[in-house]
Chains A and B, each alone.
Chain A
């Protein structure tokens, strides 16, 4: 058991292989559930392509799992602002995702101006900004600006929500 545990440690990439395999299986099962009568005009039908793609995904999943178990590793992506010397900082990412989810939940009820401002303010906070007032001013200016910009410039009505009538 211990041996297995130690082999699995640091192999989070196996999760990716599992994801590939799962998507492959879903694609194939979904295609298999289609019922199409054979048609002269379309001898290939809508099932062939999913079978090919599902097969490709399954093969990739197996090969990736083998590759990872043999010690292979994907090269994490670098960039100007990316510092790969420390592990993923979940205390930044989770609040960020939280701000994003909050926006999804709120946008249709409270409207874009409020939910968008919360999104920006929350994201800036999660990313380490601590100048609350300045952040809030920028957030409100951005969300108000985009609301009116989209309305006047593009004719797209973003939801006004709670501020219906005020804006």
Chain B
């Protein structure tokens, strides 16, 4: 009941007229950036960071929460009407959603996506309220060795599990960690990677790094490959659903939520795996399996719910452990640090008002989103027609402004351009962006915990394994790293016999199929659906 009281207090903070206004601005901005191509919630939060310095942290986070959930709502609109999902999480939505839209059922697809997102977001946030305090109770008892292990797990899992190429993921992680090294060492004051440049002593501002990688890199990359003929969007009226659609949607919503929340809450869970699992489940359970691939409403309802529930799930480790697992959460975590708020399990004790107001505003934002998305969908769809030169010139303009406003020095703009060029190269050569950002943010904390752990053990490496949770986590780390290798080795040495007629599967093949399923879960849905849905080649998170 204590949690309930705190939540009610959170509502009373979040429901003041000013904070409601910020929540409203947040959901409007969030939906807009979700709909707009080339710009996503992480970029929006990064661009807004300097602007929010003048605000109360609570108001700023209420706005960020609106952007975070709003981006999910807006993203589904794009993928249904355009069929080119900008975010990994909406790839699956686009499969059935766009088919529905083509068949003249865009209104129903948008409706089931929006209402499903609302249902999943609300249940997901309720689960967040229920579970996060438990995770916090558990987390406060952990020492440095356990934290170190958990952060290592999160970094490696995000790097090795998501994305197409592990090697490129690790390259990105290494670059991020190196960027995180720049500046004076916190403990000894030694200057690392400063090269005699006094402006680097304080380290690279996370705002500059995030804006460079997300906004400048993205704008330059799109400019290099700008589609000269904009894609045609499917015109849409006001979203609505008939009785039959409701009947076919509500179960997928709930099942999608059940997949989404736990995966979001895991380090490196993300939204790809649960949306994919939800799609497969709905296809299997559907009474109309023949409609899948031609616009089945279950195929929109389930994955869309899974997507939003995983967004709520992601906030559990973010708030309870200070551990971000997607780009937007990472930038929000950077925002905590900017405000001088220490993220981690003590956050609930030190900033209860902020945390509970943030959580309460998730409920409020979710409801606002439903209200502004259902009747206003045609207006949002119009955003897709914005002239591209203005959109990307605007992104560069605001990126420059944001990075400059942090310290009012032109040197930051030089860094912005250099790191923007890095962001460009990463997109060109298929390096995922998320490991880099997590490396920049978590790298210094990993180092701190490492040094603290070994300080306690006077330099004895055994100190790293002095807590049972740490040992268990390292075993998980080993599994995350070795399992995909073992599976691919297994596949290589036991090649599948060719030409076996269907129905004549031997026991070995069943177990191979199970192993394949395991591989799918471990390495993301990319490989499996790649063949089936070749046109959906974009699986990366929209910045």
Q: A residues near B, CB below 8 A? A: 12-13, 16, 19-20, 23-24, 26-27, 30-31, 34, 36, 39-46, 48-50, 53-54, 56-57, 60-61, 63-64, 67, 72-84, 86, 88-90, 92-93, 96-97, 99-101, 103-104, 107-108, 112, 116, 119-121, 123-129, 135, 138, 142-143, 146, 150, 153-159
Given A34-B192, A43-B459, A96-B223, A56–B177 Cβ distance below 8 Å?
A: yes
Least Cβ–Cβ distance between B324 and chain A, in angstroms: 20
Who on chain A is nearest to B191 by CB?
A34
Query: Do A56 and B170 touch across chains, with their CB atoms under 8 A apart?
Result: yes
> Are A41 and B173 neighbours in the complex by a CB distance under 8 Å?
no
Q: Can you sample 8 A-B contacts with CB below 8 Å? A: A23-B178, A48-B450, A53-B177, A86-B225, A112-B401, A123-B396, A124-B393, A129-B389
Name the contact of B431 in the complex, choosing from A74, A120, A138 (C-beta under 8 A): A74
B228 interface hit (Cβ, 8 Å): yes
Total of A-B residue pairs, C-beta within 8 Å: 243
Please tell me if the beta carbons of B221 and A82 are within 8 angstroms of each other in the complex: yes
Stretch at the interface among B20-28, B339-347, B365-373, B534-542: B534-542
The tally of residues in B whose CB lies under 8 Å from a CB in A reads 79
Complex contact A46–B223 (CB within 8 A): no
Please determine whether B394 and A120 come into contact, CB atoms closer than 8 angstroms. yes
Q: How far is the CA of A51 from the CA of B416 in the complex (A)?
A: 26
Name A23's closest neighbour in chain B (CB-CB): B178
Say whether A104 contacts B388, CB under 8 Å: no
Which residue of the partner chain B has the closest CB to A67?
B167
> Which B residues are in CB contact (< 8 Å) with A159?
408
Check B127 for interface membership: any CB of A closer than 8 A. no
Give min CB distance, B421 to chain A, whole Å. Answer: 8
- Classify the secondary structure of B's interface with A: helix
Which residue of the partner chain A has the closest CB to B536?
A78
The reply to whether A50 and B181 form a contact with Cβ atoms under 8 Å apart is: yes
With A36-B188, A127-B226 in contact, do A97 and B193 touch (Cβ < 8 Å)?
no
Could you tell me the distance in whole angstroms from the C-beta of A131 to the nearest C-beta in chain B?
9
Contacts of B459 in A (CB 8 A): 43-44
Report yes or no: A79 in contact with B178, Cβ–Cβ below 8 A.
no
| Chain A residue nearest to B194 in the complex (CB) | A30
Residues of B at the A interface (CB closer than 8 Å) are: 37-38, 50-51, 53-54, 78, 82, 84, 86, 164-165, 167-168, 170-171, 173-175, 177-178, 181, 185, 187-188, 190, 192-193, 216, 219-228, 230-231, 387-390, 392-394, 396-397, 400-401, 404-405, 408, 410, 413-414, 417, 424-425, 427-431, 443, 446-447, 450-451, 454-455, 458-459, 537-538, 540, 542
Is the Cβ of A24 less than 8 Å from the Cβ of B227? Answer: no
Q: Which of B50, B174, B181, B425 has the most CB of A within 10 A?
A: B174
Are B177 and A100 in contact, CB atoms less than 8 angstroms apart?
Answer: no
Contacting residues, chain B, for A119 (C-beta < 8 A): 393, 396-397, 400
Q: Determine whether the beta carbon of A74 is less than 8 Å from that of B388.
A: no
Partner of B410 from the list A46, A108, A128 (CB cut-off 8 Å) is A108
Query: Given that A49-B181, A81-B37, A93-B223 are known contacts, is A76 also in contact with B429, CB under 8 Å in the complex?
Result: yes
Find chain A residues with CB under 8 A from B167 CB. 60, 63-64, 67
Q: Which of A40, A46, A83 contacts B458 (CB 8 A)?
A: A40
Distance in angstroms between the alpha carbons of A67 and B454 in the assembled complex = 36
Q: How far is the CA of A83 from the CA of B38 in the complex (A)?
A: 13
Shortest CB distance A43–B (Å): 3
Is B174 within 8 A of A81, CB to CB?
Answer: no
How far in angstroms is the closest Cβ of chain A from B171? 4
Tell me if B430 and A76 are in contact (CB < 8 A).
yes
Q: Contacts A36-B190, A89-B224: A78 and B537 contacting too (C-beta < 8 A)?
A: yes
